Copies of this chain bind each other. A is one copy, B any other.
Amino acid sequence: MLSEFDLIKRYFAQHSCTDPRIALGIGDDCALLNPSPGMQLAVSTDMLVSGRHFFADADPYLLGHKCLAVNLSDLAAMGASPLAFTLALSLPEANPLWLEKFSQGLLVLADTHRCSLIGGDTTKGPLNICITVFGELPPGSALRRDAAQLGDDIWISGTLGDARLALASYRKELSLAPLEHQLAATRMHQPSPRIALGTALRGVAHAALDISDGLIGDLGHILQRSGLGASLHIDSLPAGPVLARQPLALQRAFTLAGGDDYELCFTAPVAQRAAVLAAGVSSATTVTRVGSIEAAPGLRLLDDFGQPVTLQLTSFDHFSSP
């Protein structure tokens, strides 16, 4: 069996760590970073557990992609540019084939976003993947959850719900045609972190976060932290292309409380509408206006006619769900 050191060297030593911001990469007690002068550092950690966040037999290439993507998504939601990441990996066994594909999926996405793997840890144990990602942004430009302002528009990047639809299909809760299932599953397995949009929204948007546990719950964090309420035009919510062919009730349920979308939900002043659309264009990312920040606490769901809609939906919570 491969030793811990051989394993790290063979699969995770990136070919070319030529980024001058990385003073020392893998192989010492610590990695050393030289953050760009005057920039603030953004840090986020996500832990993915087999059987909970992914199927035990998940394609390792896609899994490698997704583990880093969900972390990059947190940087995007803050408006930060990727810098580097660490990877801690607990594995039942050192399977060369699995490691090769996993590291490929991970490092291809890392290279795409100029985010160097600078260190980590490997150990034997139940499959668990923990990534901590570092980004940079100018001080004062972060898109914080507590920064929504009264009157702000609420915007969503991309589309929502196809990842949740794929999960429903895997669980046999509904039946999709093979091509539909495949399209939806791609959204579930290969989320695109909205880094380019996030950085383009610096100085344009007020508050932002990424939608991982469902729009209603996640938007609720912005409202709670900002001490405000909101109305959402639920029929304006951009359903994913596969979900858009499903019944309206399912579209509403999965756009509002789907989970695993990794799109940005952000608020911006009405005066910035053109700038938001321009940020969407420059980052090649669709942006859709879906509601408004209001003074009255709570979240109101409105249909196309401006009429209140009552839905029984909850957001995902790791400890209150079974």
Residue numbers of A with Cβ under 8 A of B are 1-5, 7, 23-24, 27-35, 37, 40-53, 74-75, 77-78, 80, 84, 86-90, 94, 118-126, 128, 130, 132, 134-135, 139, 142, 144-146, 208-210, 225, 317-320
Contact = CB atoms under 8 A, between A and B. Distances in A.
B44 A119 contact: yes
Nearest to A125: B49
Contacts of A37: 37
B43 A30 contact: yes
A1 B318 CA distance: 11
A58 to B, nearest CB: 15
B123 A1 contact: no
Contacts of A126: 49, 125-126, 128
Contact of A41 (B40, B41, B144): B41
A28 B144 CA distance: 7
A119 B43 contact: yes
Contact of A1 (B1, B35, B319): B319
Given A1-B319, A132-B45, A74 B125 contact: no
Contacts of A78: 28-30, 32
Given A139-B23, A142-B24, A30 B94 contact: no
A130 to B, nearest CB: 4
A158 to B, nearest CB: 17
21 contacts: A2-B319, A3-B317, A23-B139, A30-B43, A32-B43, A32-B78, A33-B41, A35-B35, A35-B41, A37-B37, A43-B118, A43-B119, A44-B119, A48-B123, A49-B90, A49-B125, A49-B126, A124-B318, A126-B126, A128-B128, A132-B132
